[in-house]
Structure 1
């Protein structure tokens, strides 16, 4: 039987910590300045359904970071509808960062995942063409146990994006964080904003 010394155990623990850190997306950050403009682009979870306007995640994120965060969420919108209005939003706001959170309505309506992936990819390419950074938010498929749909991780890896893949699944799996079956409450939006704030570094 192999016996490990204290120094060996320390080395193994340190190696494990390094491995976990390397596999986690928590260390990824977007660098912004106080003059930067952020656009929160999505559906009802971006608009803030289930809470007041001041309690939506874009409003909270703006307060937490001390920068401009423009709420461009429309309740009930699918990824195809979001794609159709994205260019006008980019022209209007000239953002430095877009937080992209789409898919909930596609998944609730059981629209093809291939179409969702294609629409998101076109959004990503369009945002990049405007020289803006992106944070991609993973959205869970309705189920007893919630997990983000794998296509979000695939898109994040393919386009080398900063992503927050798990927070919505965790929050929507917690009744205390929800106003109804598919929307967050003020506490949930606060937690959502805090998770996103960790992805942004103000220089």
Structure 2
């Protein structure tokens, strides 16, 4: 009975995206990719399980573990990863800093710790999204903070960095007036969002496809 209860609890933890880190069972899967992040990794705003890790798994035919926890800062994400040394060997995607980008040095330090702990080069770092609100659109102070932080991450991680923010902005519908306004404000188009920040199925699908373009960086570690 205790064994059954334990299995059920583990399943619920994975499905809910809670803060307990799950390990890919080597004997069962043999290889996999870990995606560390917050609600954007968890898949907030998606329906039918169409978060980007699940879509990436379908595209790559490689097991992808979703370690996204809603509301976490880069420090929370870092702490979960650091606390799971058995996962260091796996290729990873890091999408961290959205919830504490106003402390850019902390975000950079946290990501540096995560990458350093890996001790391998099979990782990708994604840029931070800005929301469709007055304080984060083009020309605002917070927008400038995000842009500068992303530029620093790009300079640090080079080919291991994906500017997912700029890519999503570029995928606007040229016939949709709201998307055109979003493009002019340099923010993710509303046709790819479920709210002013989080993506919808279409948005997460684009994220997964963009990562899949760099799958060689990740799969080389498997």
**What is the TM-score normalised by the length of structure 2?**
0.65
Deviation at 1:154, TM superposition (A): 2.8
The alpha-carbon deviation at position 176 of structure 1 amounts to 0.3
Deviations 1:97-154 (A, max 9, x none): 11000111113xxx32111111121122112x3x351101011344223685333443
Q: How does 1:46-195 map to 2 (within 5 A)?
A: 46-52=41-47, 54-91=49-86, 93-107=87-101, 111-127=102-118, 129=119, 131=120, 133-142=122-131, 143-145=136-138, 149-165=147-163, 166-168=166-168, 170=170, 173-195=188-210
In 2: Cα distance, 1:95 partner to 1:59 partner: 20
Q: Which has the higher contact order (CA 8 A, sep 6+)?
A: 1
CA RMSD of aligned residues (A): 2.5
Q: Give, in whole Å, the separation in 2 of the partners of 1:43 and 1:169.
A: 20
The TM-score with structure 1 as length reference comes to 0.70
Q: Using the alignment, how far apart are the partners of 2:147 and 2:107 within structure 1? A: 11
Of the two, which has the highest radius of gyration? 1
Q: Which has the higher strand share?
A: 1
Count of residues in Structure 1 that have an aligned counterpart in Structure 2: 164
User: Which segments of 5 or more consecutive residues in structure 1 lack a partner in the other structure?
Assistant: 1-33
**Structure 1 residue runs of 4 or more that deviate by more than 4 Å after TM superposition:** 168-172
Instruction: Return closer, same or farther for 1:61/1:90 CA change in 2, 3 Å cut-off.
Output: farther
Does the Cα contact within 8 Å between 1:138 and 1:149 map onto a contact in 2? no
